[in-house]
Amino acid sequence: MSRESSGGILKLHEDVQTCGYQDVQVMFDMLTSELEAAHARNRKQPASPPTAWSSRLSLSSA
């Protein structure tokens, strides 16, 4: 996440925390926890195996 976008998220978080509506705070917590979970899933995905094209290219160059 870039500095600019993380600064915007922090500002939004501050605004949500000072908001008097509990449902707004709950919704923000739900969104941020889902974003964190999605980010964790993306980091844990293994690299895709080499394609058939890469093995053909290495054979043809040998």
pLDDT 10s digits, 14-47: 999 999 899 999 999 999 899 889 888 888 766 6
Query: What are 33-42's pLDDT values in tens digits?
Result: 998 898 888 8
Closest to 31 (Cα-Cα) out of 12, 11, 7: 12
Q: What is the pTM of this model?
A: 0.51
**Does 16 map to a domain?**
yes
Joined tokens for residue 12: 């939004």
**Torsion (CA) 7, 13, 16, 22 in degrees, nearest 10:** 170
Q: Work out how many domains the chain is built from and give that number.
A: 1
**Does 33 map to a domain?**
yes
In this structure, the number of other CB atoms found within 10 A of the CB of residue 42 comes to 8
Please write down the long-range contacts of 21-26, taking CB distance under 8 Å and 24 or more positions apart. Answer: none
Domain enclosing residue 7, as ranges: 3-44
